Amino acid sequence: MSLNMFSKVEEIKGVGPKTKEIMEKAGIVTVRDLLYYLPRTYENFTNTTRLADIRPGKVVVRGKISDLRIIRTARRNFTITEGVIHDDTDAIRVVWFNQPYRVKQFDKNKDYYFTGSYDYNRNRYQLTSPKAELASDVDESRAMGNGFKPIYSVKGSFKSENFKKVFETLRPEFAFIPDLLPISESSPDFVKPGCRADALFKAHFAEDEKEVKEARKYLAYEELFELILAANLNKRENQKLRASVIPFNAEKIQKVVKKLPFELTNAQRRATYEIFKDLEKNVPMNRLLQGDVGSGKTAVAALSAFAVASAGYQVAFLAPTAILANQHADSLNELLAPFGITVALLTGATKNKPALKARIKNGEIDLVVGTHALITDDTEFKNLALCIIDEQHRFGVNQRQKLLAKTVESAIGEEVISGSANSEANSEKPLKTSTSSKEKSAKSEKIPDGSLNPDFSALKKPLAPHLLMMTATPIPRSLQLAIFGDLDVSVLNELPKGRQPVETKIITELNFVDELYPKVREYLKSGQQVYWICRTIEDSSLSETISVKKQTEKLKEIFPKENVVFLHGRMKTDEKDQIMSEFASGKINILVSTTVVEVGVNVPNANLMVIMDADGYGLAQLHQLRGRVGRGKNAAICYLVSPAEAEPAKRLRVLEKSNDGFYLAEADLKLRGPGEIYGSLQHGAMSLQFASLTNTKLISAASNEAKKSAEEFSKSPELFQKYPELSISVKKYQQLTTLN
């Protein structure tokens, strides 16, 4: 007998229509989904601490609770519920934030178990926001040997206990769960026959922390194996594609470099060289250019685009916003137009789009900078050879693939791909000799050396464009290994000369009058401008945050002589562009905005930023926002506004101490997990359920085995028939990690 992992949950005894509906809302459709719906935590009621013996950290205490009261704070819609927990040995203070219902939850004559963190906070030790369970219920479970209790995430009327009942029904079936991964002599010690069934059983029926740790170690390995296998299979598939070969013309490149208004950093020179070497190969480049805010990614992209356009091909430059697309188009045109490169802008607001798209299709435009308008079905290219995607995580996988698909069929005179073209020697040989847009119609008909028996049917196959993705969110090495497989990565880890680090300060609204407002006046008086970031557009009774519109009104009262204007993402494109243009030209003194200004906006005269409700943002996003100031020669400062009632979030302390994006990326990975490196919400979320991408030892083990399996599966695809579940998982991850 074996458990059918693909069976529907309603086939399980005790799962009726209502339970099925609740499970489906939680993403549980099959037996497999259910088995992998692990407890979010465990409560160990076997290790209860007497209050007299309590020490800082996570604790489980038992006692009665009294003196409950609600404290209203100065912060709108923010309450503190506090009380006293006591047993026969001592008493401690307990607090809950924004949970006023706690006052009526407890019977002062009954005992409860409280599970939470006991730490020094607000000038005293206290138990903060603990979970509470009636002692009599817990004691009954302990009597049956269930002192170590799994806690499942629940919604509505379906409680954690309901999940446990369902798993109890399935308990005899766990032994029949089939293995998922290929197991070989080189597999880690904990990957052996039956290891998957054992891990899932321990996860749901653990008796102690050790069993939980063992279960999660295997499941994390399994998850990493699937992800890395998918990335490696994609890499192998990509190597089968062919691309236009762009010869490196050092003389032309040097002329452009000499005209740059700044000196390239060593990191920029290294990155451009790596890109030029890729472009000379007849397999498509798949390179990620990652660099901290202000490290000069655009200059590297400009030189790459010039190399391709001056060789007679077209370049598409995809930007996430119209504001950024306009900015890129202006700077690229200023730099490249003197060298005969035709640059055009294509956004939703572009006038006379049909005429421009006709010119793109005819090959009259060398470099097209645009937003999503670039990937509409009616935007066609004559000979697209390079796609540059700025802030790649802002685009879904489908969007990137639509752009990459805009290649044309090869014509006579294009590269001839033969069986021998796969050799390393051939991959380095320039297969194309045309070097200017005037020569586009006179393609070389030279067949590359080594192609003794050219297959002319290949001339009708489309060539894949080279791909250069850029991100200002530095990606930790462990994440590169796990997600990007063997993707080539160029790193810009130097800032251009003259750039000053941004001073960062955590502040509360209590310090606005004495510290913040005087500093704002100081900057405004010297002719500099200010960003003021808010999380919401309009006030809401459901949110404590101050909105863009409300903050604008407030600042107009405080600074009546200044031009204060708000900006947010719901505005029409023309309106947003107009406001940003006025801010860039200095007509607006204080710009109150949502995170729409997060990416790419370059206003060197804006050197003070205030981020309201900074605790609500991730570390990477805060670093991006901070990168909007300090782009000129003047000193810049960024204020992170945190509520006075609580300690600032740990990530704010980290940001306050460092301007190093790579250090912050590692810290963000530890604090939040991988985030959306791929921007893959449109294609299924890459949410790792078990694996920590800071566990480099486990990643290395999974990587070694996944690479071996990738080679085996590539040679014999029929092997996947032995691993149907693995095949499904790998296909899902392949969609997420694919670049072409």
The whole-number pLDDT of residue 252 equals 93
- The distance of Cα 184 from the centroid of its chain, to the nearest Å, equals 34
User: Could you give the percent of the chain with pLDDT greater than 70?
Assistant: 81
Would you call 296 exposed, middle or buried from its count of C-beta atoms within 10 A (0-12, 13-18, 19+)? buried
- Write the CA distances from 481 to 286, 450, 700, integer angstroms: 15, 35, 9
CB 200 within 8 A of CB 174: yes
Which pLDDT score is estimated for 544? 61
List per-block mean pLDDT (blocks of 10 residues) for the chain, which spans 740 residues.
Answer: 78 88 87 92 82 90 94 79 94 92 92 90 85 81 67 75 87 92 92 95 90 94 91 83 92 92 91 96 89 85 96 93 85 94 92 93 95 85 91 56 58 32 33 35 34 36 82 64 65 78 91 94 96 86 74 95 92 84 93 83 90 87 88 90 78 88 73 46 50 78 91 89 88 66
- Could you say which DSSP state residue 30 is in? B
Alpha-carbon distance of 255 to 253, in angstroms, equals 5
Parse the chain into domains and list their residue ranges: 1-39+159-177, 42-151, 250-286+311-492, 503-658
Cα 324 to chain centroid, rounded: 20
Which residues are within 8 A (CB) of 693 and not within 5 positions of it... i.e. 6 or more apart?
476, 478, 479, 482, 669, 673, 674, 699
Largest CA distance in the chain: 94
Residue 130 three-state SS: strand
Beta pairing class for 529-533 and 606-611? parallel
Which among 319, 296, 430, 297 has a CA at the least distance from the CA of 367? 319
Classified as helix, coil or strand, 680 is coil
Query: Both tokens of residue 710?
Result: 């990738």
Instruction: Give the per-residue pLDDT at 197.
Output: 95
| Contact criterion met (CB below 8 Å) for 85 and 94 | yes
Q: What is the pLDDT of residue 444?
A: 33
What is the CATH superfamily name and number for domain 250-286+311-492?
A: P-loop containing nucleotide triphosphate hydrolases (3.40.50.300)
Of the candidate CATH numbers 3.40.50.300, 3.50.50.60, 3.40.30.10, 3.10.20.30, the domain formed by 503-658 belongs to 3.40.50.300
Q: Which residues pair with 64 in a beta bridge?
A: 86
Structure tokens at 179: 């293995």
- Write down the CATH number for the domain with range 42-151: 2.40.50.140
- pLDDT of 447 reads 30
**What pairing do the DSSP bridges indicate for beta strands 112-121 and 57-72?**
antiparallel
The two counts, helices (H) then strands (E), for the chain are 22, 20
CA separation for the pair 653, 642 (Å, rounded): 11
> Tokens standing for 80?
């503190």
Given this chain, do its domains 250-286+311-492 and 503-658 carry the same CATH topology?
yes
Q: What Cα–Cα distance (Å) separates residue 524 from each residue in 102, 351, 548, 710?
A: 47, 37, 20, 59
Q: How far apart are alpha carbons 70 and 635 in whole angstroms?
A: 45
Starting at the earlier edge strand, list the strands of the sheet with 590-593.
503-507, 637-641, 606-611, 529-533, 590-593, 564-567
**Burial bucket for residue 593 (CB in 10 Å: 0-12, 13-18, 19+):** buried
Give the separation between CA 734 and CA 231, rounded to whole angstroms: 6
Hunting for tokens 């010039």 — which residue is that?
Answer: 306
- Specify the DSSP class assigned to residue 569: T
| Alpha-carbon distances, residue 126 vs 76, 84, 649 (angstroms) | 24, 10, 18
Q: Mean of the per-residue pLDDT values for the chain?
A: 81
CA distance 316 to 305: 9
Cα 394 to chain center, whole Å?
9
